């Protein structure tokens, strides 16, 4: 402008996007170049479409892609169903019979380069929380089945069950292009100076590892308080006592939670605007997380944090004699056992996410339930029986958590 040049904002945006762009925009641009419909399950670039996109400034195939939260890449079924109905891409692109998972398609896209390309996948163990999120195994399968000539550099620490059920090495044992390195594992959490040991403790807590009690002591001794209570009033009071200045507090629950209204807790409605207000407004705004009225779910807080959190543990995941039992509320009168193994994994991972969202400390509230009886002798609220909560509370108590 200072030089007197006439330039449109769209031109500037296009120039920037040539250098760096969000990965989903890149995926959309590559989808727009393929021959459609797909024939015989094989993706091919349509030369005419490629030229058209190149003329409009979106023709280059990138050298480098960085996929944060790469464990959330979609399975083949999820992305195929999405594209079959048109998805939500800017061009409402529909692709019938899409043949690849999201991970495989990204590798295929960069594989179009004739010189070199690199994909950096940042993987969080046990962070898959939505149906259709494939985890690290999908990336490995794509490399093994479709791109065996790609070089693979991977951490040698990915042996825990939350990484492809502990089968990473097994899945890669016949791949001759793999190189393991201890430099590719972030062993210390950078979420907070206080919370660097938290993820290890949470893993042991959820896996019933014998070192969970010792790890709990270790975390607490490093000025990271973990408090246990059965009262939301006490939980709110503790949070308000901890927070100083602009430090943020908030209530967190799993998306499968159902019986929180009797505790004066409401779920934050799903929308970007609601999440923005919940995270960013100050303590004077009722939409703020600091008001401790609306609770965010694992979907809304994944990758984000508050300073002090209350994890409200509902009856959806219960301690049952050394294992977890999983339940979903039918929306009316009762909890129904959840038998699907994949869904159970997502439910367990939801609590893994929730328990690692606080930078400086947290309180876990396991409600007492409702033990009252009607005049006729029936439970006043059969959806919140104390038996649904007591065993979970006793398990957490045995780990040595301070109680209020």
pLDDT for 103-117, tens place per residue? 999 999 999 888 999
- Give the residue with greater pLDDT, 83 vs 393: 393
Cα 135 from chain centroid (whole Å): 11
**Is residue 189 in some structural domain?**
no
Ranking 84-88, 239-243, 270-274, 342-346 by mean pLDDT, the lowest is 84-88
pLDDT in tens, 166-179: 677 788 888 899 99
Pick from 100, 102, 116: which is nearest to 150 by CA? 116
**Is residue 191 in some structural domain?**
no
The rounded distance, in Å, linking the Cα atoms of 294 and 71 is 28
pLDDT in tens, 218-267: 999 988 999 999 999 999 999 999 999 999 999 999 999 999 999 999 99
Is the predicted pLDDT of residue 189 greater than 60, yes or no?
no
Q: Are residues 317 and 356 in the same domain?
A: yes
Q: What percent of the chain stands above pLDDT 70?
A: 89
Predicted confidence at residue 267, as pLDDT, reads 92
Question: Which of 123, 157, 184 is the endpoint of a domain?
Answer: 184
Task: Please say whether the beta carbons of 220 and 402 come within 8 A.
Answer: yes
Work out the pLDDT band at 58, boundaries 50, 70, 90: low
Instruction: Share the mean pLDDT of the chain.
Output: 87
Q: Are residues 132 and 229 in the same domain?
A: no
The rounded distance, in Å, linking the Cα atoms of 107 and 64 is 11
**Is residue 83 in some structural domain?**
yes
Is the predicted pLDDT of residue 138 greater than 50, yes or no?
yes
Q: Are residues 173 and 204 in the same domain?
A: no
Is the predicted pLDDT of residue 90 greater than 50, yes or no?
no
Is the predicted pLDDT of residue 3 greater than 90, yes or no?
no
Task: Please say whether the beta carbons of 152 and 180 come within 8 A.
Answer: no
Q: Are residues 254 and 347 in the same domain?
A: yes
For residue 305, what are its two tokens? 């944090």
Average pLDDT over residues 278-295: 93
Task: Please say whether the beta carbons of 362 and 311 come within 8 A.
Answer: yes
Helix (H) or strand (E) holding 153: strand 152-155
Predicted confidence at residue 135, as pLDDT, reads 76
**Is residue 4 in some structural domain?**
no
Question: 234's torsion region: left (phi>0), alpha (psi -120 to 50) or beta?
Answer: alpha
**Is residue 193 in some structural domain?**
no
**Is residue 304 in some structural domain?**
yes
Predicted confidence at residue 92, as pLDDT, reads 66
Predicted confidence at residue 236, as pLDDT, reads 97
Global confidence as pTM = 0.74
Work out the pLDDT band at 63, boundaries 50, 70, 90: confident
Q: Are residues 149 and 205 in the same domain?
A: no
Is the predicted pLDDT of residue 161 greater than 70, yes or no?
no
Instruction: Provide the domain limits for residue 208.
Output: 198-403
Q: Are residues 165 and 244 in the same domain?
A: no
Average pLDDT over residues 264-286: 90
Predicted confidence at residue 89, as pLDDT, reads 47
Work out the pLDDT band at 13, boundaries 50, 70, 90: confident
Q: Are residues 211 and 168 in the same domain?
A: no
The rounded distance, in Å, linking the Cα atoms of 116 and 124 is 26
Average pLDDT over residues 333-358: 93
Task: Please say whether the beta carbons of 227 and 293 come within 8 A.
Answer: no
Q: Are residues 137 and 208 in the same domain?
A: no
Q: Are residues 91 and 204 in the same domain?
A: no
Predicted confidence at residue 22, as pLDDT, reads 79
**Is residue 1 in some structural domain?**
no
Count structural domains, the chain.
2
Task: Please say whether the beta carbons of 275 and 346 come within 8 A.
Answer: no
Q: Are residues 228 and 333 in the same domain?
A: yes
- Give the residue with greater pLDDT, 38 vs 90: 38
Which residues, in sequence order, are CB contacts of 147 under 8 Å at separation 6+?
A: 104, 107, 108, 111
Q: Are residues 245 and 116 in the same domain?
A: no
Work out the pLDDT band at 124, boundaries 50, 70, 90: confident
Question: Which of 124, 156, 184 is the endpoint of a domain?
Answer: 184
Question: Which of 131, 157, 184 is the endpoint of a domain?
Answer: 184
Predicted confidence at residue 186, as pLDDT, reads 76
**Is residue 381 in some structural domain?**
yes
Average pLDDT over residues 260-275: 90
Q: Are residues 179 and 218 in the same domain?
A: no
Q: Exposed, middle or buried: residue 182 (CB in 10 Å: 0-12, 13-18, 19+)?
A: exposed
């Amino acid at each position: 402008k200072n030089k007197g040049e006439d330039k449109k904002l769209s031109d500037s945006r296009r120039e920037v996007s040539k250098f760096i762009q969000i990965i989903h925009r890149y995926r959309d641009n590559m989808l727009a170049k393929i021959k459609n419909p797909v024939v015989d399950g094989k993706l091919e670039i349509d030369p005419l479409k490629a030229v058209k996109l190149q003329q409009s400034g979106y023709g280059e195939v990138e050298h480098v892609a960085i996929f944060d939260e790469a464990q959330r890449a979609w399975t083949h079924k999820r992305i195929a169903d999405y594209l079959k109905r048109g998805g939500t891409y800017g061009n409402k692109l529909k692709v019938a019979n899409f043949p690849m998972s999201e991970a495989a398609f990204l590798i295929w896209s960069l594989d179009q380069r004739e010189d070199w390309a690199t994909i950096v996948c940042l993987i969080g163990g046990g962070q898959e929380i939505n149906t259709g999120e494939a985890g690290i195994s999908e990336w490995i399968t794509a490399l093994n089945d479709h791109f065996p000539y790609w070089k693979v550099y991977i951490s040698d620490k990915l042996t825990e069950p939350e990484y492809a059920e502990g089968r990473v090495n097994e899945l890669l044992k016949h791949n001759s292009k793999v190189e393991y390195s201890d430099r590719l594992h972030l062993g210390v959490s950078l979420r907070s100076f206080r919370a660097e040991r938290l993820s290890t403790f949470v893993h042991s807590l959820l896996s019933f590892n014998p070192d969970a009690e010792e790890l709990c002591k270790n975390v607490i001794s490093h000025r990271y308080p973990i408090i246990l209570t059965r009262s939301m009033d006490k939980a709110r009071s503790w949070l308000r006592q901890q927070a100083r200045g602009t430090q943020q507090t908030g209530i967190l629950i799993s998306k499968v939670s159902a019986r929180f209204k009797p505790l004066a807790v409401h779920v934050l409605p799903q929308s970007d605007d609601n999440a923005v207000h919940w995270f960013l407004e100050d303590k004077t705004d009722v939409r703020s997380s600091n008001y401790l009225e609306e609770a965010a779910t694992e979907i809304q807080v994944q990758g984000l944090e508050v300073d002090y959190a209350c994890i409200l543990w509902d009856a959806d995941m219960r301690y049952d004699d050394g294992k977890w039992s999983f339940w979903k509320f039918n929306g009316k009168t009762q909890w129904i056992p959840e038998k699907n193994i994949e869904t159970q994994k997502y439910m367990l991972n939801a609590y893994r996410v929730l328990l690692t969202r606080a930078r400086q400390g947290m309180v876990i509230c396991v409600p007492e339930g409702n033990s009252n009886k009607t005049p006729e002798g029936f439970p006043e609220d059969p959806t919140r029986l104390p038996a649904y909560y007591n065993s979970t509370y006793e398990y957490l108590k045995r780990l040595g958590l301070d109680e209020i």
